[in-house]
Amino acid sequence: MNFEHFLGLYLEQRMDPVIVCNLESEVAQAIGARVTRVWLSRDTLDKQKVRHPDLRPEDYRALKPALLLGEVRLESPKSAIVLYVDTRLLDWGLRVHLKATVNGREIYTDSFCRLRRSAYRRELAKAYPVVRAHK
């Protein structure tokens, strides 16, 4: 992720979404996407600031490793939940919600948050099919 672009978006100095990373094609296909590029939009960041005010801009550096290394669980034919234990940057469990557009031409990060151990265990207990195991 281009952190300068992200920071401009976070500080409301930019409107254009930022590319977070490219997923493995198998993961993208599992949520009905024809592309692998994952975006983070200004609308999502605005929502994040309200729902997850504990996240600082630098915390978003963990988003890319979470998407590339976390356990991917299929929530619906067009969305997935990614669970990741970050021991390098934040030392927290993380949850990322991904959603593909109806036409499958874009994938967006819809939500990103920290999880305490108990919340992480609750997420693991949900019966969503695993598309990719935690690396």
Q: What is the pTM of this model?
A: 0.92
CA 120 to CA 54: how far, in whole Å? 17
Which tokens belong to 94? 């993380």
3-class DSSP state of 70: coil
Which tokens belong to 101? 């557009």
The per-residue pLDDT for 97 is: 97
Which tokens belong to 80? 């997935």
Given a cut of 90, whether residue 19 has pLDDT beyond it is yes
Residue type, position 31, single letter: I
Given a cut of 80, whether residue 41 has pLDDT beyond it is yes
Strands of the sheet containing 92-100, edge to edge, are: 18-22, 37-40, 107-115, 92-100, 79-86, 71-76, 130-132
The per-residue pLDDT for 56 is: 93
Given a cut of 80, whether residue 89 has pLDDT beyond it is no
